Amino acid sequence: MTPCDVLARVTRVGEEDAGLELQRAQRLAEAGCPVGAVDPRVDPLVYVRDGYAVTLWAYYELATPTALPEDYARALTRLHAGMRTVDLPSPRFTDRIAEAHHVAANPALSPELAGTDRELLAGRLADLRRRVDLPGATQQLLHGEPHPGNVLGTKQGSVFIDFETICRGPVEFDLAHVPEAVCEHYPAINQELLNACRQLVLAMVAAWRWRVGDEFPNRRRWGQELLRSLREGPPWPTLDALSNQLEGP
């Protein structure tokens, strides 16, 4: 917003819990996590006007159009380390898989999804949910969607934004959302689990693109390309690679 150096996030009342996102951001910042901060010059409140909820955040001047892989990986490592010290109520990542499966399996929620495509997507989500929910596996608080659109390459380093999707699960679920070059700099990855989570993320995003009422730009082409990737099999593309393919750099 001008003339103030502040970022105003505006949503329709009821669409998202803006107050919960504020609370999460503050808790994570207190734990030393590299997250976008709430603007310190105003009370951390949700301001409601004309059916819209407004929250005010610190403005960051970008140093690079996208975060550099090594800095991205360091920031994600710091985020996960800080999250291990924070006790925030959050769903398990399998709850989000179940939501995606419900969309894919229910014609009322995804009416444009053809019969064989529905069988593929619903079946894949059900199978992957069993494969990635390993008994005894280490799980922790996660960002939930730390893809390139949710990380800023600022002059102070990479910082993460958007905390509506926080959940609990293996770090490989978060890593499945980031570019391949970032994973190369993240320590101690379970590659088998990462590959399964990459396929899982493709299937989940496909379900969202076929969901009735989805307003994502170019949603039909995205939905078709995601289904094609699932049919073709590994190696599973990352979301940024698909985005570059569909939309260009």
pLDDT in tens, 238-247: 999 999 988 7
What average pLDDT does this structure show over 66-94?
95
What average pLDDT does this structure show over 2-6?
77
Burial class (CB in 10 A: 0-12, 13-18, 19+), 136: exposed
Beta-bridge partner residues of 52 = 12, 49
What average pLDDT does this structure show over 147-169?
94
What average pLDDT does this structure show over 170-192?
96
User: Alpha helix (H) ranges present in 171-218?
Assistant: 171-175, 180-183, 191-210
User: Considering the entire predicted model, what is its pTM?
Assistant: 0.93
What average pLDDT does this structure show over 98-126?
97
Contact 83, 141 (CB under 8 A): yes
Q: Which amino acid is at 241?
A: A
* pLDDT-based confidence at residue 131 (cuts at 50, 70, 90): very high
* pLDDT-based confidence at residue 125 (cuts at 50, 70, 90): very high
Three-state secondary-structure class, residue 141: strand
How high is the mean pLDDT of the chain? Answer: 93
* pLDDT-based confidence at residue 98 (cuts at 50, 70, 90): very high
What average pLDDT does this structure show over 162-180?
96
C-alpha–C-alpha distance, residues 205 and 188, integer Å: 26
What average pLDDT does this structure show over 182-189?
96
Chain segment 9-61, per-residue pLDDT in tens: 998 887 778 889 999 999 999 999 999 999 998 899 999 999 999 999 999 98
Q: What pLDDT shows up at residue 248?
A: 62
Q: What pLDDT shows up at residue 1?
A: 56
Q: Which two tokens stand for residue 101?
A: 């499966």
Please report the domains of the chain, with CATH numbers, ordered by start residue: 6-58 (no CATH), 69-247 (3.90.1200.10)
Beta-bridge partner residues of 167 = 142
Q: What pLDDT shows up at residue 101?
A: 98
Residue 66 has pLDDT above 90, yes or no: no
Q: What pLDDT shows up at residue 70?
A: 95
What average pLDDT does this structure show over 171-199?
96
